[in-house]
Amino acid sequence: MSKTPDRSERRKQRLEIVYRATGELKLDPANARQHSKNQIRKLANSIETFGFNVPVLVDAELNVVSGHGRLAACRVLGLAEVPTLCLDHLSPAQLRAFMIADNRLTELAQWDDRLLA
């Protein structure tokens, strides 16, 4: 069993994008973030318009850590593969904490209405 890299080792680690078949990737049934059919359709429209620009984050067993909604949208669109990043340097506890933090921290951001006008 390999030990979890310490903080300095993690900083040095380079992530590599690997294209994987959408059927290989496993949605996490414990994902606390829920995606409605309407939201998945909107994600699919965004992917059709702009392309698939944010890789799906997975663990070493190809369980999705981040990107459940994007993956569902790709499956609706019939896309055969998606870019992925494997977070195999994180422990199971760190993966779970990251999954929650990744969603929650985005919710805490605010819009600058002046710049949106």
pLDDT score at 51: 94
Average pLDDT over residues 19-23: 97
The domain segmentation of the chain, as residue ranges, is: 12-24+36-106
pTM over 0.75: yes
Measure the CA dihedral 85/87/33/79, to 10°.
Answer: 20
Say which amino acid occupies 28.
Answer: D
pLDDT-derived band at 18 (thresholds 50, 70, 90) equals very high
β-bridge partners, 66: 57
Compare 97 and 10 and report the one with higher pLDDT.
97
CATH 3.90.1530.10 fits 12-24+36-106, yes or no: yes
pLDDT band for 14, please (50, 70, 90 cuts).
confident
Higher pLDDT, 32 or 75: 75
CB-CB contact of 84 with 57 (8 Å)? yes
Band (pLDDT 50/70/90 cuts) for residue 16 is very high
